Structure 1
Amino acid sequence: MKRKASAVWQGGLQDGKGSISTDSGVLKDTQYSFATRFADGIGTNPEELIAAAHAGCFSMALSAELSKAGITPERIATAATVTLDKDGGGFSITAVHLDVAVKIPGGDKAAFEKATADAKAGCPVSKVLKATITMDAKLET
């Protein structure tokens, strides 16, 4: 399976602008720029897209891990916060923090903790990132 997205950039780094599109059509010429990446401009940025991908991937991986334990969650809500830090050669994504809330009526805390740890390690987006990944996971019953 392969998925594809594309980006077009026009101009210099600080005064230029770009657009991002996905083959699925969910993003179509979505605007991004220096201001959307490093300030509060309107549009998206690569780090925000990585955060969205990680939150979505982790939620699905957690659902799969819970299923292995015979648990069907009512709801999994994940927020991913990506940290972009300046380093000697430019910038690096140094960390991702996952905030997870899972509603499992009558949930088994031990099974929940194992499933969240396994999902964090096994999610394909987690595997591709070299960043430190931390997590706060809350079980709602």
Structure 2
Amino acid sequence: MAFSKTTVSSLREKFAPVVTAFCNHPLEKAYHYLIVDAICTKVRERGAVPSRGLLLVIGVNGDGFHKILSFMAADPESEGSWGEFFSSLKDRGYKGVDLVVSDAHKGLMRAIGKHFQGAAPITRDRIFT
């Protein structure tokens, strides 16, 4: 399925405020377990189509209820990108994490250690092997 540039622009204008509101809403409920990951995709930027990451964080509460808490486009391997993302969660009121599940990228692991001190990090390879 293909979309015209006009359709894409129209959709972006319509949904940008909704996405912005979602990514900035207060995080008041307790989600003691986080699952963090990045999805790599191609994006069009200034005439080029580089690979970018969509950083994603899912919170899980004590009852097993899970919810996407936020997402952000960034460099998925960068400690700085993950740190900025985690800081934005804390700025919105997120606190109380006990366990963070992620892959073992070094930048991500350093950001988890810095921003969620005291939380137990566990990598997916330790879960599924």
Calculate the TM-score normalised by the size of structure 2. Answer: 0.31
* More strand, by proportion: 1
Larger Rg: 1
Calculate the TM-score normalised by the size of structure 1. Answer: 0.29
